[in-house]
Structure 1
């Protein structure tokens, strides 16, 4: 057995410990940034030259030649985009262009360019004039319309460049007797189309305008409109109107559960029987002839959100007949198509998960969206109906069954 030299081992450990102390002692506290100046050269840097401007919608690209110096850190552009907002834009030493944007109007604006050194010393200012093209919020404004709708007003606009815009609705407040903000809708879709509800059916002064991400405001369109009367139909008057082409019921989820007021994932709803080969459809009576405004549905929530048998693409058909005859409806038809006693009220697609996640990987935000229910607007051109037939074309799970928790129907009874 080899004898251990305890003295040499102890000496080695001591040397190692002292080395660690030296290393630790030589370390400096890191405050997350370097307090030393980037450069000690305090000389004023030269200015940019050969400045040129290329305008675009709401802004401009400014190109230039940098002074011949390795001590330059960036070029700073300062400018006012409207009568109350100042902006700054920086462009690094490695590029010859700075973009300035957010301008409110089509007119001359002054931009001040300064070269900043690595020692944070600014050059003399160079002033340049830009003349932006029409900003996008002003391009969209002429297409912005506001019109009477059931329970409120319908707002539409075209935003082909898909810019971030806010649509602001104001309405006369009876308590303050002033136009107050009633709704704010932010979007970057190419087509803006939605309805703001909750207003009585009396003449009301409304206004609507656009804003962009820079806080610029368009002019306001002021109108006086009378929202169409809308009420939720009495569900106690709903009735099953089962016909031969309707789906068989599965798992005891009978059709009346579709209007029992329960939207949680633990109660029964309407559920079809798998494997029957029949269309995924149901038919029920409303109890009163009604000019429909919208139909609100609650899909099955929790782990079924955007999954399993929840409808994805579907159509509501309607009939005004007292006893509409059964008919096998086409799998695809345009709005307004009449087949027997039934008319296509509209074709719908349930929205994608608001989180942007793929179905099957949804989160709590998506579940709350499903639990809140979704409105599907019925065109004002649709005729009054007394019966509804829901025809589901496909589901999120792409299976041969479908299910729903609840349906509410709104409109103006005749």
Structure 2
């Protein structure tokens, strides 16, 4: 047995309180270094040599700081529209402050204050800024509304990737007022979405944009007639098996991919390792101009295993399209034999932001509700569809999906 040195133990017991007190003292000293409160009530000097550089919806203001010893920050106070004021701050470590959120491209007055640690403001310095056209107005002025299947397509550019919301309104036949659809929140460089649910008769659509500061653009109106769109009758669909189509696994026949049920085991499942590609082919029973489709994946394996992560929809308007090897990577419009690429798609990432195979309740609910995908309006009509899974979430060599619904105009 190891012998315990009681003298060392006693020395430690005597030293420990000293170390604790020293640590506590150090902590208190560190806290005092970041204190912003001061008893010095001296009014700080003003900022000088002020210069302005405007940008879309805002401006950078540079200046020379006063020599006040207890200076803490510079405050900018300004109105961004007729109703709302805004304040921004910049610490004494920098000589630049940004003012933003302005509603228009015109002159605005910005009041600058140097503020001390005792919260004493300097005398005001008023500077004039003239922001360039705000980003939400840049987006709004370039939006194009065109007819789409069952509604209207909204397209435009957002060159600065600004976070904006696009609002589409249309008249309510009962109330006579305009109803607003669910806003589309955009921060990418392109605006491209469709609002559906309308009959193929003239509708007066309006569109306006808003930004995170509460600014509203004017509403741009246009009257157009949506293209006819219906849910294609799945009772007319039929399996059109071709030699290169995947071998079925676990009894999940391909016909279950369009049997009207999204519940397990009423889905399509291929046999692991049996086919070089993951694909199946079916006929629509009609010739149709497709507009969109809804895809339901397997909820029990949401964002994992054999669920489709990347896939391609191929179409053919032939009466008896021939089998041919299709590329794993292709773009919309690519023609291979009797088949044309109607669209290459990526299943949306988990709403929760979790990695694959770690879906939470939010992700599972998203998958269970089905996900909508648009078909390019320039795609040709089709009589047959070949659904190809190019990559699964689990990276496996087999795939599964539960159900597909297709929309369009039967010809």
**Contact 1:170–1:183 (8 Å) recurs in 2:** no
After TM superposition, which residue ranges in structure 1, 4 or more long, deviate above 4 angstroms? Answer: none
Distance (whole Å) between structure 1 residues aligned to residue 339 and residue 114 of structure 2: 73
Q: Deviations over 1:186-242 (max 9, x none)?
A: 121112211111122221100112211112222322100111111111222211111
- Residue ranges of structure 2 left out of the alignment (5+ in a row): 1-34
Match of 2:271, SS state, is coil
Correspondence for 1:343 among 340, 343, 355 = 340
Aligned length: 377
Q: Deviations over 1:120-155 (max 9, x none)?
A: 332221111112222222232333111111111111
Distance (whole Å) between structure 1 residues aligned to residue 165 and residue 232 of structure 2: 33
**Residues 1:309 and 2:306 are matched in the alignment:** yes
* Further displaced range: 401-410 or 329-338: 329-338
Correspondence for 1:318 among 315, 319, 322 = 315
The equivalences for 1:144-163 within 5 A come to 144-163=143-162
Distance (whole Å) between structure 1 residues aligned to residue 50 and residue 78 of structure 2: 16
**Residues 1:393 and 2:390 are matched in the alignment:** yes
**Contact 2:282–2:384 (8 Å) recurs in 1:** yes
1:192 corresponds to: 191
Computing the radius of gyration from Cα coordinates, the structure with the larger value is: 1
**Contact 1:48–1:64 (8 Å) recurs in 2:** yes
1:271 corresponds to: 269
2:65 corresponds to: 66
- Residue ranges of structure 1 left out of the alignment (5+ in a row): 1-35
**Contact 2:36–2:72 (8 Å) recurs in 1:** no
> How far apart are 1:252 and its partner, in Å?
0.4
**Residues 1:111 and 2:125 are matched in the alignment:** no
Match of 1:141, SS state, is helix
**Residues 1:255 and 2:254 are matched in the alignment:** yes
1:25 corresponds to: none
Distance (whole Å) between structure 2 residues aligned to residue 299 and residue 168 of structure 1: 30
**Residues 1:382 and 2:383 are matched in the alignment:** no
Distance (whole Å) between structure 2 residues aligned to residue 74 and residue 340 of structure 1: 69
2:94 corresponds to: 95
* Further displaced range: 53-62 or 77-86: 53-62
Distance (whole Å) between structure 2 residues aligned to residue 58 and residue 335 of structure 1: 37
Compute the TM-score of the two structures, normalised by the length of structure 2.
0.86
**Contact 1:246–1:278 (8 Å) recurs in 2:** no
> How far apart are 1:361 and its partner, in Å?
2.9
The equivalences for 1:288-299 within 5 A come to 288-299=286-297
Distance (whole Å) between structure 2 residues aligned to residue 277 and residue 389 of structure 1: 15
1:365 corresponds to: 362
Match of 1:70, SS state, is coil
> How far apart are 1:37 and its partner, in Å?
9.6
Match of 1:308, SS state, is coil
Match of 2:223, SS state, is strand
Q: Deviations over 1:309-358 (max 9, x none)?
A: 11222221222233333333333444333333332222222222222222
Distance (whole Å) between structure 2 residues aligned to residue 112 and residue 152 of structure 1: 48
**Contact 2:101–2:213 (8 Å) recurs in 1:** yes
> CA, structure 1 residues 46+272, in 2 after alignment: closer, same or farther (shift >3 Å)?
same
**Contact 2:247–2:275 (8 Å) recurs in 1:** no
Match of 2:136, SS state, is helix
Match of 1:268, SS state, is coil
2:137 corresponds to: 138
Correspondence for 1:281 among 279, 282, 288 = 279
**RMSD between superposed Cα atoms in Å:** 2.0
Distance (whole Å) between structure 2 residues aligned to residue 213 and residue 235 of structure 1: 43
**Contact 1:77–1:89 (8 Å) recurs in 2:** yes
> How far apart are 1:97 and its partner, in Å?
2.2
Distance (whole Å) between structure 2 residues aligned to residue 374 and residue 207 of structure 1: 26
Q: Deviations over 1:11-57 (max 9, x none)?
A: xxxxxxxxxxxxxxxxxxxxxxxxx9923333433222222222222
> CA, structure 1 residues 332+61, in 2 after alignment: closer, same or farther (shift >3 Å)?
closer
**Contact 2:252–2:265 (8 Å) recurs in 1:** no
**Contact 2:357–2:394 (8 Å) recurs in 1:** no
